[in-house]
């Protein structure tokens, strides 16, 4: 499967410098570019925790720099080390309301629940609806929590998504989809698959979208640019705006748009990817109210 070098991404991607690649063993004390693991104090991903996740409080985290800069968050590569064990992870850091470039909050947030006592919840929902300064901060703080929650639910269902390792404030650490040398998996949009490869990828995509719909969600921003392919395995990414299909009044419109975006790409690669057929299959799996 070939990879196109042409870039048409909304986000800026940064190659991993060669200096990132040689592994470094953890030391007893972190240096200026290292910190002790934040795992102990963070919210943890779903159980069973994969064997590759390092949970030891003595582990050291080394931030290897930004891999991708997007509208609402930056994604960095992080190495967590403890003795002879080490693992690469992706760290997504959401910007606050003043520094985010994502201005389509309203449609995605409809129907999203706010936890807390009734009085506080009502006050917060009004602030978000009227876009006060406090409300904009609440909206900004929701994206990391929402993505962590959706990834956790989908991973437990066996869907092809990155494992969410931990959440701390607006920082989400998750499984790095790529090679051990720090090379990230390409996006579907970068690939030039032949017909057999495209058919295989479309079937994988159908399976993960069925799991997403069964969980009651639509990705709501699905395109070939937020689907990764690593060693012929398709992985769905970028889920902060995932919406409740039943709770959001525009949920089924988002779902159909997702179907159109991906089916159009696969049809252009010479395979039969009918929008109505995929949409109807997904609708049959959506939980009934």
CATH number of the structural domain spanning residue 255: 1.10.510.10
Asked if 40 and 159 sit in the same domain, the reply is: yes
Distance CA 204, CA 207 (A): 5
* Residue 70 covered by a domain: yes
pLDDT reported for residue 116: 47
Domain residues for the domain of 80 are 36-179
pLDDT reported for residue 97: 60
Asked if 158 and 198 sit in the same domain, the reply is: no
Asked if 96 and 227 sit in the same domain, the reply is: no
* Residue 168 covered by a domain: yes
**Helix, strand, or coil (residue 100):** coil
> Angle of helix 133-156 relative to helix 118-130, nearest 10 degrees?
110
Q: Would you call the peptide bond into 48 cis, given omega within 30 degrees of 0 as the criterion?
A: yes
Q: Token pair of 10, please? A: 């909304």
What is 37-48 written as a DSSP string?
Answer: --TTTSEE-PSS
* Residue 17 covered by a domain: no
pTM: 0.82
pLDDT tens per residue across all 289 residues of the chain: 877 644 433 444 444 444 444 444 434 444 546 899 999 999 999 999 999 999 999 999 999 999 998 878 999 999 999 999 999 999 999 986 655 544 455 555 555 554 445 555 566 455 545 556 565 566 656 889 999 999 999 999 999 999 999 999 899 999 999 999 999 999 999 999 999 999 999 999 999 999 999 999 999 999 999 999 999 999 999 999 999 998 999 999 999 999 999 999 999 999 999 999 999 999 999 997 5
179, 212, 235 — which closes off a domain?
179
User: What is the CB-side half-sphere exposure of residue 39 using CA atoms within 13 A?
Assistant: 19
Asked if 55 and 111 sit in the same domain, the reply is: yes
Number of folded domains that form the chain: 2
* Residue 13 covered by a domain: no
pLDDT reported for residue 72: 82
pLDDT reported for residue 51: 97
CATH number of the structural domain spanning residue 130: 3.30.200.20
List the alpha helices (DSSP H) in 21-132. 105-109, 118-130
* Residue 11 covered by a domain: no
């Amino acid at each position: 499967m070939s990879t196109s070098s042409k870039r048409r991404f909304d986000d800026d991607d940064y190659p991993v410098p060669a200096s990132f690649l040689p592994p470094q063993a953890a030391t007893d004390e972190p240096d200026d570019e290292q910190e002790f693991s934040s795992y102990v104090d963070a919210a943890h991903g779903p159980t069973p925790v994969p064997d590759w996740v390092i949970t030891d409080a003595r582990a050291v985290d080394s931030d290897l720099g930004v891999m991708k800069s997007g509208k609402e968050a930056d994604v960095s590569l992080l190495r967590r080390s403890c003795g002879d064990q080490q693992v690469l992870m992706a760290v997504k850091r959401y910007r606050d309301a003043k520094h985010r470039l994502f201005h389509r909050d309203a449609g995605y947030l409809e129907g999203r629940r706010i936890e807390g006592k009734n009085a506080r919840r009502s006050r917060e929902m009004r602030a978000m609806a009227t876009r006060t300064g406090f409300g904009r901060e609440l909206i900004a703080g929701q994206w990391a929590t929402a993505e962590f929650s959706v990834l956790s639910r989908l991973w437990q269902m066996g869907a092809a998504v990155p494992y969410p390792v931990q959440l701390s404030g607006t920082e989400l650490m998750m499984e790095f989809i790529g090679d051990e040398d720090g090379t990230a998996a390409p996006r579907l949009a970068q690939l030039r698959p032949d017909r057999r490869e495209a058919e295989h990828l479309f079937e994988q995509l159908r399976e993960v979208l069925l799991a997403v719909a069964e969980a009651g969600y639509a990705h709501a921003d699905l395109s070939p640019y937020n689907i990764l392919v690593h060693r012929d395995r398709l992985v769905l990414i970028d889920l902060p705006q995932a919406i409740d299909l039943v709770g959001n009044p525009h949920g089924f419109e988002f779902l159909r748009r997702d179907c159109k975006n991906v089916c159009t790409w696969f049809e252009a690669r010479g395979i039969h990817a009918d929008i109505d057929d995929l949409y109807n299959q997904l609708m049959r799996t959506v939980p009934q109210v």
